[in-house]
Structure 1
Amino acid sequence: MQEAEVMYQTGMKILNGSNKKSQKREAYRYLQKAASMNHTKALERVSYALLFGDYLTQNLQTAKEMFEKLTEEGSPKGQTALGFLYASGLGVNSSQAKALVYYTFGALGGNLIAHMILGYRYWAGIGVLQSCESALTHYRLVANHVASDISLTGGSVVQRIRLPDEVENPGMNSGMLEEDLIQYYQFLAEKGDVQAQVGLGQLHLHGGRGVEQNHQRAFDYFNLAANAGNSHAMAFLGKMYSEGSDIVPQSNETALHYFKKAADMGNPVGQSGLGMAYLYGRGVQVNYDLALKYFQKAAEQGWVDGQLQLGSMYYNGIGVKRDYKQALKYFNLASQGGHILAFYNLAQMHASGTGVMRSCHNAVELFKNVCERGRWSERLMTAYNSYKDGDYNAAVIQYLLLAEQGYEVAQSNAAFILDQREATIVGENETYPRALLHWNRAASQGYTVARIKLGDYHFYGFGTDVDYETAFIHYRLASEQQHSAQAMFNLGYMHEKGLGIKQDIHLAKRFYDMAAEASPDAQVPVFLALCKLGIVYFLQYIREANIRDVFTQVDMDQLLGPEWDLYLMTIIALLLGTVIAYRQRQHQDMPGPRPPGPRPAAPPQEAPPEQQPPQ
């Protein structure tokens, strides 16, 4: 057993000390050797790596056998993983009852992911009776751990990218930075561009947007900018010294030096850091009045740390009279800037009814938000990278586990991969029913595309029976709640055809018009639909006119076929395209404008304003 422990420690040392794939694969070779000697922690690591395909070839069967072995030994991680397999039907016959049992055992053993899954199940009523109080119990426990893990410099930033949105809008900015853009900023930083140095420093300090967290690079960039006199860089160096790490040794004296320099220049990050020093006596005597003063200065400039700390002082009555209304005000401001601890404090207030009316619903939603910022959220980026690398099986399994934890973006991404039939680990007959399940869960959390997909699935009978009435309900919800142009267009079509609703040409036109108003992209298809609708209306009119005897004998479906309306729309589209092409040709044949005369010299441009701290 001692040899197994040596193998495990060696593997973990390599795994935590390197970002190179070759070295991580070497680390897993050591972990596999330890796992073969029944080392529990090594078994947990290797089994999850086999499940997700992390640096090992994905093997569901072997992973399942390892999870079963771990479960017999009482491992909460093994129990939670086995519950996931039964919930998702991966390698086993799906059984929500067995999944619930294993999740419960995992939670009793202290597994935070199991608690999070149970919190979501009780919140959404999945396999259990819906219970807000039970959801609150599980989510609060997980949120306590997440909040205690938040450092002064903050944790890694995880980008939440929805695959359906990325495909529907290829030009949409997903928030990821392209490699050539990062290299461009690096080039600017090396040439002495202070703003680029500060930006890259912050990017490497927190990670995210496709860039891994790297405190050494962050420190180097901040140091360069600080030497050039940038107050933001000084303040962030102060934060790094105040927190301490393997790269930057903890030093209250050095942190105080940088905070003072930045605060004297009016920097809110430095002011907030100086407030923390006086609040906790880090390198100075505790002075609540000065702490309050600096937090107020930082908060007035919109810096979230200053707002959070002001809220905490009012909440606890430190240096001021206790005032829950003021605490609530500043916690709300900090939460608008995305501060995790602000969400956590607001959740505590709503859960206990402190300063506000008690609301279990609000508390659960806030705690859920905090829980989804835990370290396990980094799996969202590894799943996305797997998808981009073409490893759809690895991507969908990771998204499915995150979907179980209640991540809406994971539910929609898992449904999307299944909908596209890109993953092979799910049987062909099961892809649409499983996709339907996850579209439904994502829609219940307010995702518009998922709601429209539910309508589509019921309209066309994907994974379920054709049901126009249910499709109509989903389109109507997407139209009323999210003002979706696509949903409005679909409602117009269903009113026009009388599908799931009584045929009504006037309502059809109204929904088509609403779709055109809701989105410029809908104007062309709406124009074509209205042209067709006008002809349909004309035919109905003449059938009811005095020449009824002639036209009542005309059956358009029999004369031109059941898809006559599609043929008509195609003809209209061709005519429209011809007109547009003709007008463009005319425009090209027109003589161009005369070249302008010389313009007066432009006044000198002002220097760009100093970079503001991130919110």
Structure 2
Amino acid sequence: MKIPSIFLIFLFIIFLPFLARKLFNLKENLFEKSKNSILFDDLNFENKTEIIEQGLYYLHNPLEIPQKNTIETVKLLEFIAENGHYKAFHKIGKFYEYGEGDLEVDMCLAKKYYQKSADYGIAISHLKMGLFNSIGKCGEQNQAKALIHFELANLNKSIVAKMILANRAYQGYNSHQSCEKAALYYENIAYQIFENESEEYSFSSKSIKKMHKITSLKEKEKKKKDPNVVEITNETDQKTIHYFNSLAEEGNAEAQNVMGKIYEIGTKTTPQNIDKAMEYYQKAADQEYVPALRNLAIQNLFPDNSKPQNISGLYLLLEAAYRNDTIAMNIISQMYREGLFVERNVMTALSWAQKSAERGDKDGQYISGMILLKEPELGHDYATAMLYFLAAASQKHPFSMYQIGKMYLNGLGVERKSCQQAVFWFKKVAESVVLQKKIIPVEEDVLQGKTIAAINHYEILVEMGFSKALFNLGALYENLDFDSMQKLFKNSPEFQQEFSEFLNNQKNSEKNSHSESEEDFIKKAIEKQRDLKMLKYYTLSAQQEHSLAIKKLGDIYFYGKAVEINYNTALRYYQLSSQFGNYQGSYSVGYIYENGFGNIEKNFDQALKFYNLAKSQNPKASLAINLIKIRCYFKFLFYRPKKAISTFLFDVILSNPFNSPHFIQKVEHFSSRINELGDDIMSFSLDGEQNDPNSKIDNFDLDFPFNFKILFVVVLGVSLVIILIFLKRLV
């Protein structure tokens, strides 16, 4: 039997969409297979080359990595890592540690890739593995493994690893505490910094010119507060140049000096032109603008190779120095010490450096110290050299800090050697450079709202021994939003274990309407992990006597975060914080005594005492604390009216600075009479029984006899009038 052709056509039309869908899916599968084979199968050389080039581009240009489909980028990086570019493993680990793109934070995967990278000797991956083992990310803490990884990172001259090892030696983490070993680490770090950056203080004509260029940056530092001053660099735009050029044409000496600097340095839009620079410097110098005199002198004394040296620059330099230009003084000092253009004379060199030092110039103080320390003609006056170095160090001069550390280490210019002091000063050098060069870019993370990155970077700073980082890390955890908490803790082994136990308990227990929901449990468990981290870092910071960290521990026990509520422990921490001068701690003590918590009774005297202490510790908070004290007076008016009224009157009247001693004596007498009145009021109740004047507010009987009620209302009215006067005076 033949099937009619019309029927076959009808069937084909019905099944056509189904066949099209099948063919489309087959094409997609083949495409995916092809794509995967491009990544992981042996292909021809051209495809591999293209993939590796793309992967290397992402590796060296991380800002170009697309934020969507990050998993594809991970596959790409993994492929190039397996083809010999092992740093890509580290990049993948960073993706998972920071939760970049559309990836979730997963410390265990991050650790896996960091370990792969470290196995191939990548120093920064050894550093990360050291941190993971030290902190206990994705597993328990293992300080022995951490130490091995830090040592391996140090072999690759990592300053961060060296600082971590120095801090561990000094604190005795997982090893014998050794100040001497720590001092050697810190000295080595400081020496590397000193060796790389102190060329401007060596003795050659080139370095003196370089010293001029570097120390002239001080002018920019001094003018940073002036919004009209623009720093001239290679990036200076054409509008800025046009602005200064127009001022220079009008005869403005400062603008002429700036134009000279623009032509001396050269910018993207204005090529370097020394002749034009000299022309502008000369115009400004003709108007006796001192910085231009010095700049003109430098160009004459130390010209480029195409121009002859002009000794007349020395006279210009001397003229600038006689006009109190400290940079010129420093250069002249170096010239006399070296014998450049003048006969070598150490005493004259010292004289010029001291003139600069006397004007508060930190470079002049440093140079004076170095001459006294190094020059045998002056008998090595170590004690005076130390004074100069200390003066410069007080202005955060890193090279002076280094010299102070060396002198303490060798016992020069001090009563005795001190390893602790040497460590202190060497560490300051290292820390100042780490912060200035932003080796750990934590400030940018905080400003840009990259909380997870900021936490990871603060953890590095903590390992390096930055004490302030402990408190900042605790504060970051305290203020962490819930989304960031989830990213940080949802994949952590601690949370996963708790969540697994919760699910098992849910299965084993009978279902009822009062059982905790899965969503509520997750929220509580994640917040618990956050609170434990916060407690850890605030405790470590408090151990270093950080007053606000101690106060924060009081808050933790007061509100019961990660611990049970304990008002007595909270009060102890608040009192300790108050002793270290923290006004928030003093206020918190006053608040506890004002309201009474747990078995801590209300205490009017103690509340006022600590409120007044808080006001003295932070005068800016005076208005707020005065209002709190008024609240306190009203509360205790019904609790202890004799004390509330007399203390309030005494406090308000004596706060007037124009009161005479005779008037104050009268106030004290009046206050004592009110106290006596208060005793009469407090001594009797309706039934005639005597009450305890220190009884709690809940037990106090407000039902006075009629005559005492009238007296009480009168006194209350007077006190309200005085309160209004007091508030008016505050405003």
In the alignment, is residue 37 of structure 1 matched against residue 83 of structure 2?
yes
> In 2, distance between residues paired with 1:327 and 1:52?
48
Q: 2:183 aligns with which of 121, 126, 136?
A: 136
Residues 504 and 92 (structure 1 numbering): CA distance in 2 closer, same or farther, change over 3 Å? same
> In 2, distance between residues paired with 1:115 and 1:528?
52
Q: 2:346 aligns with which of 282, 288, 297?
A: 288
Displacement of 1:368 in angstroms is 1.3
For residue 536 of structure 1, what is the aligned residue in structure 2? Answer: 636
User: Does the residue aligned with 1:81 lie in a helix, a strand or coil?
Assistant: helix
Residues 557 and 198 (structure 1 numbering): CA distance in 2 closer, same or farther, change over 3 Å? farther
1:320-374 deviation per Cα after TM superposition (whole angstroms, max 9, x unaligned): 2211111111111111221101111111112222221222222222111111123
Displacement of 1:311 in angstroms is 0.6
Displacement of 1:87 in angstroms is 3.0
Q: 1:322 aligns with which of 368, 373, 380?
A: 380
For residue 308 of structure 1, what is the aligned residue in structure 2? Answer: 366
8 A contact 2:583–2:615 mirrored in 1: yes
- What 5-or-longer segments of structure 1 have no aligned partner? 158-174, 206-213, 560-574, 588-615
Displacement of 1:397 in angstroms is 1.6
In the alignment, is residue 232 of structure 1 matched against residue 330 of structure 2?
no
In the alignment, is residue 546 of structure 1 matched against residue 687 of structure 2?
no
8 A contact 2:87–2:122 mirrored in 1: no
In the alignment, is residue 379 of structure 1 matched against residue 438 of structure 2?
yes
Residues 180 and 116 (structure 1 numbering): CA distance in 2 closer, same or farther, change over 3 Å? same
For residue 489 of structure 1, what is the aligned residue in structure 2? Answer: 587
1:67-96 deviation per Cα after TM superposition (whole angstroms, max 9, x unaligned): 212332344432221111233444555444
Within 5 Å, which residues of 2 pair with 1:419-434? 419-422=478-481, 423-424=484-485, 425-427=487-489, 428=526, 429-434=528-533
User: Does the residue aligned with 1:426 lie in a helix, a strand or coil?
Assistant: helix
8 A contact 1:472–1:500 mirrored in 2: no
Displacement of 1:300 in angstroms is 2.2
- What 5-or-longer segments of structure 2 have no aligned partner? 1-48, 68-72, 201-210, 218-223, 232-236, 490-525, 643-678, 701-719
* Range with greater deviation from structure 2 (379-388 or 278-287): 278-287
In the alignment, is residue 265 of structure 1 matched against residue 320 of structure 2?
yes
Within 5 Å, which residues of 2 pair with 1:64-463? 64-107=111-154, 110-124=157-171, 130-151=177-198, 152=200, 189=244, 192=247, 226=281, 228-229=284-285, 230-232=289-291, 261-266=316-321, 267-280=325-338, 286-356=344-414, 357-375=416-434, 378-379=437-438, 382-422=441-481, 423-424=484-485, 425-427=487-489, 428=526, 429-445=528-544, 447-463=546-562
Q: Which has the higher contact order (CA 8 A, sep 6+)?
A: 1
> In 2, distance between residues paired with 1:583 and 1:398?
50
> In 2, distance between residues paired with 1:218 and 1:431?
56
User: Does the residue aligned with 2:438 lie in a helix, a strand or coil?
Assistant: helix
* Structure number with larger C-alpha Rg: 2
8 A contact 1:440–1:450 mirrored in 2: yes
* Range with greater deviation from structure 2 (435-444 or 535-544): 535-544
Q: Which amino acid aligns with 2:488?
A: V
> In 2, distance between residues paired with 1:342 and 1:232?
26
Residues 70 and 343 (structure 1 numbering): CA distance in 2 closer, same or farther, change over 3 Å? same
Residues 42 and 354 (structure 1 numbering): CA distance in 2 closer, same or farther, change over 3 Å? farther
Displacement of 1:139 in angstroms is 2.0
Q: Which amino acid aligns with 1:364?
A: V
For residue 211 of structure 1, what is the aligned residue in structure 2? Answer: none
Q: Which amino acid aligns with 1:362?
A: Q
> In 2, distance between residues paired with 1:50 and 1:290?
62
* Range with greater deviation from structure 2 (306-315 or 295-304): 295-304
For residue 598 of structure 1, what is the aligned residue in structure 2? Answer: none
> In 2, distance between residues paired with 1:386 and 1:359?
38
1:14-38 deviation per Cα after TM superposition (whole angstroms, max 9, x unaligned): 88xxxx966999xx99999975533
8 A contact 1:241–1:251 mirrored in 2: no
User: Does the residue aligned with 2:565 lie in a helix, a strand or coil?
Assistant: coil
Residues 515 and 7 (structure 1 numbering): CA distance in 2 closer, same or farther, change over 3 Å? same
> In 2, distance between residues paired with 1:443 and 1:216?
54
In the alignment, is residue 520 of structure 1 matched against residue 619 of structure 2?
yes
| TM-score, normalised by the number of residues in structure 1 | 0.68
Displacement of 1:515 in angstroms is 1.4
Residues 345 and 499 (structure 1 numbering): CA distance in 2 closer, same or farther, change over 3 Å? farther
> In 2, distance between residues paired with 1:410 and 1:200?
43
Residues 522 and 579 (structure 1 numbering): CA distance in 2 closer, same or farther, change over 3 Å? same
> In 2, distance between residues paired with 1:551 and 1:180?
73
Displacement of 1:395 in angstroms is 2.3
8 A contact 1:332–1:342 mirrored in 2: yes
| TM-score, normalised by the number of residues in structure 2 | 0.58
Q: Which amino acid aligns with 2:617?
A: A
8 A contact 2:461–2:469 mirrored in 1: yes
Residues 434 and 149 (structure 1 numbering): CA distance in 2 closer, same or farther, change over 3 Å? farther
8 A contact 1:408–1:441 mirrored in 2: no
In the alignment, is residue 511 of structure 1 matched against residue 610 of structure 2?
yes
Displacement of 1:116 in angstroms is 0.8
User: Does the residue aligned with 1:309 lie in a helix, a strand or coil?
Assistant: helix
> In 2, distance between residues paired with 1:399 and 1:223?
46
